[in-house]
Amino acid sequence: MYYKTYYNSPLGELLIVSDGQNLCGLWLKGQKYYASKLGDKMPQNSEFEIFKTTKIWLDKYFNAQKPDIKNLRFALQGSDFRKEVWKLLCEIPYGEVITYGELAKKLAKKLNKKTMSAQAVGGAVGHNPVSIIIPCHRVIGANGNLTGYAGGIDIKARLLKFEGVDINF
């Protein structure tokens, strides 16, 4: 069973979903793929420790304190391929960006493959179920364009500016 709570962020309301122990999802209101695999009839419960920890993490993030995701436990739904991409996203440092192509090269190396499709990696990035915390907003196009963010390019730009990234490449 999944439970939900909400968090009021500078970007608007965020939906946080948990199985009671782990963080399973975090979406901006109206985001593409918004809680798509978890259903929308979840009971609300703000008392779980994971919700409290997630909200503290978000408070720190929105106060530019660069919180560490190691304090959060995840239970993410997705293919093994997507989960590998999401793990790599977690390695992108605060305030830095990487291209889809660079991310694909890292994944290929990790999986002992010669090459990896940047488009396939982009699809996995786009289905990241834990926005902001798993930093898919730090992935940009090959020419420095802010492409492909399920929360909208304007939100991606705001998150990167918030982290001090010069988005005028």
| Residue 99's CATH number | 1.10.10.10
Q: Does the pLDDT value for residue 15 go beyond 70?
A: yes
Q: Do 35 and 97 fall within a single domain?
A: no
Q: How far apart are CA 150 and CA 155, in angstroms?
A: 9
Q: Do 64 and 102 fall within a single domain?
A: no
Average pLDDT over residues 151-155: 88
Q: Indicate whether 65 belongs to any domain.
A: yes
pLDDT at 37: 64
Average pLDDT over residues 154-169: 87
Contact 145, 1 (CB under 8 A): no
Q: Does the pLDDT value for residue 151 go beyond 90?
A: no
Q: Do 85 and 67 fall within a single domain?
A: no
**Active-site annotation, residues:** 136
Average pLDDT over residues 83-102: 96
Q: Which domain holds residue 96?
A: 80-162
Average pLDDT over residues 145-152: 84
Q: Show the tokens assigned to 134.
A: 């798993």
For 37-87, the pLDDT digits (tens) are: 666 678 888 899 999 999 999 999 999 999 999 889 999 999 999 999 999
Residue where one domain finishes, among candidates 45, 71, 97: 71
- Give the number of domains in the chain: 2
Q: Do 87 and 145 fall within a single domain?
A: yes
pLDDT at 43: 86
